[in-house]
Structure 1
């Protein structure tokens, strides 16, 4: 065996001998290839050369000429400031002030003085007497910077001790691995924690700068296994921890808004989960109410609370037939089957809202996963919904006109007689009443209704035909029809079109006319104040009941801007990675 220190190149010769001895044992396996690449890599050979050079100078026992090059540089700079300025002195002063030169001098002084360990503040002295229960006491030193330490504390009611209530994932305490849930705090920076409340400890930590020293007694609670959690959810409600009186620590809470995607990193506590907002630069988790807690809260709320009075600038609504107003007609373009505005009087809307309180469904979190459409996959179905009068039909019409080869609509069915100018499969599919009623019993229709003795309806098969043509199928539906299409087959992208404030409605629709019934061919009446109020009230009821299904909400205050916003969003979901419910994942 060759001694590594036996002259220059000893390690290199040992490595060569090792490779020669292993040659007969090498095969084509992955492990052998990895070992051979590692032993023959340039990085290893460079390290060996450095090692040989260090061994050479180690035998010579070199001593530094000066242990404080930084001090010499400072003295020289002071003297140069006193002499007459010249180009040479100015350049030398500039070089000495460069951070790279100062760092090099600092490293030289550390090597010459053999001070290789980081400079930490001295630990507090250990007491002469340690209680028996503290025989496992440990001292933890954490460096406090701009971010919080990432742990919460509470007072044990039975013992009066201050204990670590929870450690926030990704915070400084969690990254150190030195503080755990259940640990008892005895001292913080030399200040005893005995007979103190958590509120008294916070100022002590706030005044601490740099290193914070804790004396703790390790808790008995077993640490959970660290799991790389990949659970993502879309929040279906707004949350502000500062306004939540039940949260254990407001500063540890995570604020989020409806539609935000959150990564759940801990569900150990049944009441408070730990989560990060997806895309945030801060990796420290925050507390959010668990699904169970938030569901209990919603259940216990009085029904009236669920219908929050919205500011007028935030109120939304349904669908005006702009196509009828402008006189433009496109074959196959039909409104959702809203047969008469007379059916939606303000009194009936208020009655429906009053009866619907008990049946309101308000989900809390929707588990999601990232999705990007592949070139050979069908396009996502686009569902447009809103209240009567808000402009859903006009937005759909503009999308069709913007790219007829890319966007299309499904053709509805009817039992009425075909008119001379109509073509089968273009304006309608014309079927017998018996066939239509049979399809109703077979649940083939998304929506259907009867008007003047004739049936009208939209079938699932007509939607599938458009999707099979590699086009984006646009549907204008009532919210209740969304659930029938909310499947992995269609992956619907649901857009809710909302009305603006009632003042904006008065301005934008003051001269517009609307169809008084489905059978009318031209607009016959102007909007009334009651129509505007119905639009806003109905929109509010829709969002309260079906808001968890809406991926995009567009306020139609200006039709051109609303169309541009919608068109841009549809382009993004066709090309970019976005989030869909995990139940739509391919098995």
Structure 2
């Protein structure tokens, strides 16, 4: 998932735009009165009438006027738990996407990763990675200073939360390429992110795209059909589990078209109001 942390302009009226379907009135065993539940679909806009109860809010549809109870954000987060596998979401789109860093009108900037591995002969500290000791990384991880971290080939890698703050403090829009489990930490009023999911295309399309980038010399990494099938399956799984965190989903059927879609949406992001979670405002 690609995440843009930025300052947002938004309407402060208590409305919600829902990012997932709900049949609260019939299927939720926690609701105090099942007949009072209000069902809604992804994209429906609800006006919040009363939020005094920490678990159940009273809301009404802006189109149609039906009123009822919906689960509060606190209740939804409390009862949902995801245990996802790590997924390497990096793909050819990233090569094109990095061109955004050269658009001065938006001041994009990417944070630098941190690792405990030793620098290679052609690497210098602060160019591709910041190199630190394993002990230092482990201490900072235990102290909660990392947005995400993992271990590969015996070395730790991660992204520090302070690195994001520093980019925003400098007046830049921070671009992150993160694993989906980091979205729960990022999607807060502290960062105000705009989350873009670059979804894998169908298997045959992905296979053709991979052959094209190999033939063009963009990458020398040869992926098998098993690797490509795993990418498609993992992309679908992530979309099912984390769809409600995404502000925009782009299926990467064509590199140029995907990039143009992303570029057009980012232009609007800086010029139009955006929907944000209610607790970013109240």
Give the structure-1-normalised TM-score.
Answer: 0.36
Q: Which secondary structure state, in structure 2, belongs to the residue aligned with residue 525 of structure 1?
A: coil
Which residue in the other structure is 1:275 paired with?
61
Aligned-pair CA distance for 1:470: 0.9
Q: Mind listing any 5+ residue stretches in structure 2 that lack a counterpart?
A: 1-12, 28-37
Aligned-pair CA distance for 1:477: 0.3
Aligned-pair CA distance for 1:271: 12
Contact 2:44 2:61 in 1 (8 A): no
Which residue in the other structure is 2:9 paired with?
none
CA distance in 2, matches of 1:274, 1:539: 34
Q: Find the partner of 1:523 among 201, 220, 227.
A: 220
Q: Can you list the C-alpha shifts for 1:115-141, whole angstroms capped at 9, x where unaligned? A: xxxxxxxxxxxxxxxxxxxxxxxxxxx
Contact 2:114 2:129 in 1 (8 A): yes
Which residue in the other structure is 1:450 paired with?
151
Q: 1:438 to 1:237 in 2, by over 3 A?
A: closer
CA distance in 2, matches of 1:436, 1:425: 16
Which residue in the other structure is 2:6 paired with?
none
Contact 1:415 1:432 in 2 (8 A): yes
Contact 1:238 1:258 in 2 (8 A): yes
Q: 1:286 to 1:239 in 2, by over 3 A?
A: farther
Aligned-pair CA distance for 1:562: 1.2
Q: 1:537 to 1:287 in 2, by over 3 A?
A: farther
Aligned-pair CA distance for 1:405: 7.4
Q: Can you list the C-alpha shifts for 1:502-531, whole angstroms capped at 9, x where unaligned? A: 3432433344449xxxxxx96231341x23
Contact 1:396 1:474 in 2 (8 A): no
Aligned-pair CA distance for 1:257: 5.2
Aligned-pair CA distance for 1:419: 4.0
CA root-mean-square deviation? 3.8
Q: Which secondary structure state, in structure 1, belongs to the residue aligned with residue 47 of structure 2?
A: strand
Larger RCO of the pair (alpha carbons < 8 Å, separation 6+): 2
Q: Mind listing any 5+ residue stretches in structure 1 that lack a counterpart?
A: 1-229, 247-253, 278-284, 293-297, 299-357, 362-384, 515-520
* Structure 2 residue 142 is the aligned partner of structure 1 residue 441: yes
Which residue in the other structure is 1:564 paired with?
260
Q: Can you list the C-alpha shifts for 1:434-467, whole angstroms capped at 9, x where unaligned? A: 2111111111112222333332211111112211
Contact 2:45 2:61 in 1 (8 A): no
Q: Which secondary structure state, in structure 2, belongs to the residue aligned with residue 509 of structure 1?
A: helix
Contact 1:495 1:551 in 2 (8 A): yes
Structure number with bigger Rg: 1
Q: Which secondary structure state, in structure 2, belongs to the residue aligned with residue 497 of structure 1?
A: strand
Aligned-pair CA distance for 1:408: 0.9
Q: Can you list the C-alpha shifts for 1:192-216, whole angstroms capped at 9, x where unaligned? A: xxxxxxxxxxxxxxxxxxxxxxxxx
CA distance in 2, matches of 1:524, 1:502: 18
Which residue in the other structure is 1:534 paired with?
230
**How is 1:280-319 mapped onto 2 (pairs within 5 angstroms)?**
285-287=64-66, 290-291=69-70
Which residue in the other structure is 2:17 paired with?
234
Q: Can you list the C-alpha shifts for 1:89-125, whole angstroms capped at 9, x where unaligned? A: xxxxxxxxxxxxxxxxxxxxxxxxxxxxxxxxxxxxx
Contact 1:512 1:526 in 2 (8 A): no
Q: 1:523 to 1:542 in 2, by over 3 A?
A: same
Q: Can you list the C-alpha shifts for 1:217-273, whole angstroms capped at 9, x where unaligned? A: xxxxxxxxxxxxx53111223589xxx999xxxxxxx99752343335699xx9996
Contact 1:272 1:287 in 2 (8 A): no
Which residue in the other structure is 1:189 paired with?
none
CA distance in 2, matches of 1:405, 1:572: 11
Q: 1:276 to 1:387 in 2, by over 3 A?
A: farther
Q: 1:260 to 1:398 in 2, by over 3 A?
A: farther
Q: Find the partner of 1:490 among 191, 195, 199.
A: 191
Which residue in the other structure is 1:477 paired with?
178
Q: Which secondary structure state, in structure 1, belongs to the residue aligned with residue 101 of structure 2?
A: helix
Q: 1:262 to 1:394 in 2, by over 3 A?
A: farther
CA distance in 2, matches of 1:564, 1:578: 20
Q: Find the partner of 2:239 among 539, 543, 566.
A: 543
Aligned-pair CA distance for 1:395: 4.8
**How is 1:107-256 mapped onto 2 (pairs within 5 angstroms)?**
231-238=14-21
CA distance in 2, matches of 1:404, 1:415: 35
Give the structure-2-normalised TM-score.
Answer: 0.71
Contact 1:232 1:262 in 2 (8 A): yes
Which residue in the other structure is 2:32 paired with?
none
CA distance in 2, matches of 1:271, 1:577: 25
Aligned-pair CA distance for 1:387: 5.8
Aligned residues: 244
Contact 1:512 1:527 in 2 (8 A): no
CA distance in 1, matches of 2:143, 2:254: 42
